Chains A and B, each alone.
Chain A
Amino acid sequence: MKSARPHPAWAPWFFLAPFLLLFAAFFAWPLVRAAVLSLEQTYGPGVGVFVGFRNFAFLARDPLFWTALRNTAVFTVGSLLIQMPVALGLAILLNRPSLRGRAVFRLIFFSPALIGMVFAATLFTLIFEKQTGLVNFALHSLFRGWNPDFPWLEDYLMASLILAALWLYAGFNMVYFLAALQNVPQEQLDAASIDGAGPWGRFRHVTLPAIRPVAGFIVMLSIAGSFQIFVLPYVMFLRTGGAGPLNRGLTVVMYLYKTGFLIGDLGYASAIGWVLALLLVAIALLHRALSHGETQ
């Protein structure tokens, strides 16, 4: 029998090289560069002066940053609280074998996720228009007392944004839940039925614990995505400078974009980016600690 020839020592590195190169070029180096930049004030990448931690000090008392952070947090929490139950509810409905045309409904509910975000944002800008917008028109037709000039895109920016995001992502999250629901052991559900558990009891004591890891994953994904939201408000609030009146629609990434790419202060934008990254890491760690506690 011919003995297997040992691999040369460089072989693993050779196969890892494409990933390592890409990782270094597009992740590690920008991260290091952003850290260096966050200690400078810049006018584009070519002109900069070292300012130490002054960017972070300014950030700590920058009212616009805090407004952006508060708005983003409101959007994240609002999205989670509405999207998760809606996505789970849709998944439960579409998981019923007795439902006819399940595949068609799944496609219908998932299809908004296939639409470009700019298109969706433009659509919702029209939907929330005064007088002629679908929402105001429908509400005014149903309730004569409804003001057709209701200022969705002026006074209720976060509500509009949450509704637009719900339409976009509920179907997407539904698919995850659907996959999780299909993996709930049928024998456990049957055993619970035999033990006298009703539909709610089976859902609470069997289904929910079984899909919890997936739900946790979706929550983390949604938090990370929501904190980085940019395109939706950028297009929806374009008419009011991308942030809306009183900066009610300003998000953290929008503020980062404006600072870095419109003003050219990449240093300050990097500081914002780092704070956002650290915040997300902290949330992930907290989530992990809580999940770990639950498992224990």
Chain B
Amino acid sequence: MPRLPSFLSPAAWVIVGLAAASTIGICLMRPPASRALQFWIFAIQHKPFYQTAIAGWNHTHPDKPVELVLMSGTALQQRMMSSFFSGTPIADVLEVERSNIGPAFAGPLEKIGFVDLTDRLRDQGLLDGINRPSFSPWTSRGRIFGIPHDVHPVLLAYRADLVEAAGIDVSRIETWDDYFRVMAPLQVAAGESGGPGRALVVGWPSDYYIAEMLLLESGGAIFDARGRPTLNAPFNARFLARLATWFTGPRPVARSVDWFSASGHRMLLDGLVVGLPVPDWYAGIILKLEIPGLAGKLKLMPLPAWERGGRRTSVWGGTMLGIAKCSPRREDAWEFAQYLYLARATAEALFRRNGIVSPIRSHWTDPVYDQPDPYFCGQPVGRLFLDQAPHVPVRTSSPFNEQALTAFDNCLISVTDYAVRTGRADPATLVPEAQRLLDQAQRDITALVGRNAFLSSPP
């Protein structure tokens, strides 16, 4: 029997053998060549419908099958950026959420990892066929890199059971000031009746989603059309001062209710707030699927405006479908993207399953949007959202949006603290402090944007 060289023990030889075999194995291993187009998504709510749609596609296109992969939004963003930075494997087609897209636009235009769809969209007449503001988050330096999945207009959901029991007429509400005045009888200060009290609207200073949504509704913005920071615009300072007063005083009109947790849902069920701003996805997915106990107790109305005659909606969230530039089958991917996103059946299913209204204007006449919804006391929910869809504000796609929003929200928190500390409740008296804080934030964000050597032209 052959003897092993004696300078290693038999066990050590086994280890060496295993190490060598696994190393050789890994070197020889090749990822299986997939025939299918890879399609990555992050929203589990999209999966059931997409599976059906993909089964239909695979049946009619056996030469271009599609494979669906669901992963978390964070995982998708990291794998996407890893691919754009280092060429690691990526899907041919992928859905990306708005809060995850910024980094993809931070480099040179030619290094953006998505296919530039601008010319394709123009050639097919889709630039006018799709709700125009819905392109804004997916546009960088004038080029469009994704097909919008949605519009996500925002309405105000209110506790119709409480409001009607109190004999309140919501048709008298046009502005936020009207809303707080008309709903005042429903407000209960915390501890007033030995309980947690009731506020009039959901909101708290550190929730930057709501700060952005309300700022956009008011007409403010933190970047201009050329991607330059505009945090310290006097308009923004006035807005910040007004919003801060929602959270201060002996009876704050707003209260903190977590949008996505069990404790937040419990607070909504217990009627600890009267109203909450909701985009279509929140109404269709979170409220209806996760808080069924509110069925028949909520109604929708346009958001109260900040000024008379002002905008009655805003926008919150958003998803796009993009095609990876490195995909060897970009034409197949484009064909599939159109099949999935532009078909009337898709729009209808999207609304039926998730309550999301389509960004494709020609679908807006579909009767599905006029059907009464028992969850919202028989209101035609789709039509209510679509009535506001053309008015949703344009948003920035600046790669620095998250940082700027955080800075803006930090100003809101500081102004609120200042109002509490000094006992000032009149917005006019808070404007100078708001302006001072926004000036500082503007300097910080301008410095951050300014040091980016790759944004040769504004985003």
Contact = CB atoms under 8 A, between A and B. Distances in A.
A274 B260 CA distance: 38
B454 interface: yes
Interface string B266-281: 1100000000000000
A174 to B, nearest CB: 33
Interface string B97-122: 00000010011100100000000000
Interface stretch (B146-154, B178-186, B377-385, B408-416): B408-416
A51 B453 contact: yes
Given A45-B86, A51-B453, A261-B78, A246 B410 contact: yes
Contacts of A129: 258, 261, 263
Interface string B199-224: 00000111010000000000000000
A246 B206 CA distance: 8
Contact of B402 (A54, A241, A247, A261): A241
Nearest to B81: A264
B135 interface: no
A1 B258 CA distance: 83
Contact of B453 (A49, A246, A247): A49
Contact of A131 (B87, B263, B402): B263
Nearest to B266: A132
A37 B196 CA distance: 54
Given A245-B410, A246-B413, A43 B107 contact: yes
B107 A264 contact: yes
Interface in B38-81: 77-78, 81
Contact of B399 (A46, A240, A263): A263
A3 B429 CA distance: 96
B370 interface: no
Given A44-B85, A47-B111, A149-B196, A264 B106 contact: yes
Given A43-B85, A245-B410, A132 B106 contact: no
Contacts of B86: 44-46
A49 B111 CA distance: 14
Contacts of A64: 444
B346 interface: no
A240 B409 CA distance: 11
B451 interface: yes
Contact of A45 (B85, B108, B260): B85
Contacts of B208: 241
Contacts of A45: 85-86
A133 interface: yes
B108 A43 contact: yes
A245 B402 CA distance: 13
Contacts of B266: 131-132
Nearest to B111: A47
A49 B190 CA distance: 56
Contacts of A105: none
A147 B195 CA distance: 11
B451 A148 contact: no
A133 B258 CA distance: 13
B414 to A, nearest CB: 7
A282 to B, nearest CB: 27
B136 interface: no
B84 interface: yes
Contact of A58 (B78, B260, B261, B451): B451
B108 A247 contact: no
Contacts of B452: 41
A264 B103 contact: yes
Nearest to A149: B256
A44 to B, nearest CB: 3
Interface in A18-50: 41, 43-47, 49
B205 A245 contact: yes
B295 interface: no
A244 B77 CA distance: 21
Interface string A97-119: 00000000000000000000000
A243 interface: yes
Nearest to A40: B453
Nearest to A140: B196
A262 B81 contact: yes
A47 B256 CA distance: 43
Contacts of B14: none
B85 A130 contact: no
Contacts of A264: 81, 85, 103, 106-107
A117 to B, nearest CB: 16
Contacts of A44: 81, 84-86, 107
A241 B263 contact: no
A63 interface: yes
B162 interface: no
A211 to B, nearest CB: 39
A151 B204 CA distance: 11
A19 to B, nearest CB: 15
A63 B107 contact: no
A265 B414 CA distance: 29
Given A43-B106, A131-B267, A149-B196, A245 B413 contact: yes
B175 interface: no
A288 interface: no
Interface string A249-272: 000000000000111110000000
Contacts of A262: 77, 81, 103
B193 to A, nearest CB: 14
A44 B111 CA distance: 10
A46 B113 CA distance: 13
B106 A263 contact: yes
16 contacts: A41-B453, A43-B106, A43-B111, A46-B86, A51-B453, A63-B444, A130-B258, A130-B263, A132-B263, A132-B266, A149-B190, A243-B406, A246-B410, A261-B78, A262-B81, A262-B103
Interface of B: 77-78, 81, 84-87, 103, 106-108, 111, 190, 196, 204-206, 208, 255-256, 258, 260-263, 266-267, 399, 402, 406, 409-410, 413-414, 444, 447, 451-454
Interface of A: 41, 43-47, 49, 51, 54, 58, 63-64, 129-133, 147-149, 151, 154, 239-241, 243-247, 261-265
Given A41-B452, A131-B196, A264-B106, 19 more contacts: A41-B453, A45-B86, A51-B453, A54-B451, A58-B451, A130-B256, A130-B258, A130-B263, A131-B267, A149-B256, A241-B208, A243-B406, A245-B409, A246-B414, A247-B406, A262-B103, A263-B106, A264-B107, A265-B106
